[in-house]
């Protein structure tokens, strides 16, 4: 028996990286998972099904409100309910503040912050009448500020404020809303650092992690599974770091 048996979850940006890790861990705990991403993520769905779980793929651009509305409607129609919403989809377009284009500012805000707003809002609209639900939003240690990431930091700080507000507004409706801030996690994107300067860039990042190694998507996924479970029913409005001590 899994902690999430009988529950339905949506995970955005679940085609790879962190989102994939989260989707797989929720499925391991028994959740039926809608694997949402810009492109079909049938490979992730197949992994879940081969392990005996239930999953479905859905293509969505989280920066478009109607598409997010359709995503929630699909989850409810396919699996009968929506209990867990994980807003993970995000992009970065790094650059120093004085060189950053308006286009790159707008794009990151649209996906990382507005997309999280749409996902949170649509899920809560469904969950409030049922007086039950879990919202888990993925931010970053960069919400505290990071060189070359004014757009990303602003978006991820906004995610924190949005989530804390949602938590306060919906606590008496049985809905918890929490933020996970991953640290340096080994994904398709970060492993490319092993090819930079003979691996020096990768080693530099790992050296900043007190536990001495990069995290895995499953590390974040297990935290998400806990927050989605009844074991975390009294935890809301929290910002929880998952970074091996990197985020202070």
Q: How far apart are CA 74 and CA 8, in angstroms?
A: 11
Q: Measure Cα distances from 3 to 27, 44, 46, 228, 229 in Å.
A: 10, 21, 22, 9, 6
Residue with tokens 């970065």, as numbered in its chain = 92
CA angle 164/169/173 to nearest 5° reads: 120
Residue of 194, 188, 178, 190 lying closest to 234 (CA atoms) = 178
Please give the Cα distance from 159 to 181 (Å, whole number). Answer: 10
Q: How far apart are CA 120 and CA 189, in angstroms?
A: 26
For residues 133 and 107, the answer to whether their CB atoms sit within 8 Å is no
Q: Which residues are catalytic?
A: 152
């Amino acid at each position: 028996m899994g902690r999430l048996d009988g529950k339905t979850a949506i995970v955005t940006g679940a085609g790879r990286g962190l989102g994939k890790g989260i989707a797989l861990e929720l499925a391991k705990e028994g959740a039926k998972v809608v694997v949402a991403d810009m492109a079909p993520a049938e490979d992730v769905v197949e992994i879940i099904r081969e392990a005996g779980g239930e999953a479905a793929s859905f293509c969505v651009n989280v920066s478009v409100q109607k598409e997010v509305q359709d995503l929630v409607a699909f989850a409810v129609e396919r699996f009968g309910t929506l209990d867990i919403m994980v807003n993970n989809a995000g992009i970065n377009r790094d650059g120093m503040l004085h060189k950053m284009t308006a286009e790159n500012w707008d794009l990151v805000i649209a996906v990382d912050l507005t997309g999280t707003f749409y996902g949170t809002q649509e899920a809560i609209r469904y969950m409030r009448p049922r007086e039950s639900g879990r919202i888990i939003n993925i931010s970053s240690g960069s919400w505290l500020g990071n060189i070359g990431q004014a757009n990303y930091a602003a978006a991820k700080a906004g995610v924190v404020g949005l989530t804390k507000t949602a938590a306060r507004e919906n606590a008496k409706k049985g809905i918890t809303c929490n933020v996970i801030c991953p640290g340096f996690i080994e994904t398709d994107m970060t492993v490319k650092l092993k090819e930079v300067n003979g691996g020096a860039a990768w080693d530099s990042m790992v050296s900043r992690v007190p536990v001495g190694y990069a995290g895995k998507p499953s590390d974040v996924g297990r935290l998400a599974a806990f927050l989605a479970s009844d074991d975390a029913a009294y935890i809301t409005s929290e910002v929880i770091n998952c970074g091996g001590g990197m985020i202070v």
